[in-house]
Chain A
Amino acid sequence: DSGVTQTPKHLITATGQRVTLRCSPRSGDLSVYWYQQSLDQGLQFLIQYYNGEERAKGNILERFSAQQFPDLHSELNLSSLELGDSALYFCASSVGFGGRNIQYFGAGTRLSVL
């Protein structure tokens, strides 16, 4: 158990809908990262928050947004869903963001868009 909690584990929805994925980082970790993993694209970095502020952006679509709350949990919002958004979404956390920055991953949310 990494200490990172993601909910829900599975999500099935229809195209055009909006969903919210939730992540609680390990106790004491200030950084939260979101990743998308699909068979053809591998593990793709989406966005990072550090202590409530957005710190870095990766290949995140405009239809997607995220935030980190004062209690450090984070949410990833996916809207106007398309079939191609079906993937495994991981959240990871780390203490900070520099140097030997070990990321601890949650179990992921498997999103199926039908």
Chain B
Amino acid sequence: GQSLEQPSEVTAVEGAIVQINCTYQTSGFYGLSWYQQHDGGAPTFLSYNALDGLEETGRFSSFLSRSDSYGYLLLQELQMKDSASYFCAPSGGSYIPTFGRGTSLIVHP
């Protein structure tokens, strides 16, 4: 079967570091994507991991452990504009990412 778990909400202050965890069960797992969605906006691609380890893109990093079916998104030097929903989306054999309800990140001044 398929399952996806990530926290529903995370809060942090400006300038801090926050980690959004994701655990999944996906048949024929291929890779894990992360997307960001601001309120009322469209999801936008952030990162993709197919192999174990850390991928860094500016202030954002994404990590994957295939053996643990686990990944996380790390956001550094948080800014107010980072307040948004973040989706981890594992891809299975069909290569189609499975989204869920996402994690709402609230950044306080």
A102 to B79, CA, bound (A): 25
Known contacts A43-B87, A45-B96, A56-B94, A99 near B43 by CB under 8 Å: no
Contact A35 B96 (CB under 8 A): no
8 Å CB contacts to A: which residues of B19-69?
A: 30-31, 33, 41-45, 48, 50
The tally of residues in B whose CB lies under 8 Å from a CB in A reads 21
* A74 at the binding interface (Cβ < 8 Å): no
- What's the tally of chain A residues with a CB closer than 8 Å to chain B? 26
A-B contact number at CB 8 A: 58
Instruction: Check A25 for interface membership: any CB of B closer than 8 A.
Output: no
Choose one: A35, A42, A101, A105; the contact of B95 (CB below 8 Å).
A101
Name B43's contact: one of A56, A90, A100, A101 (CB within 8 Å).
A90
Q: A43-B87, A99-B30, A99-B50 are in contact. Are A108 and B95 (CB under 8 A)?
A: no
**A-to-B contact residues, CB < 8 Å:** 2, 33, 35, 41-45, 48, 55-56, 58, 90, 92, 97-108
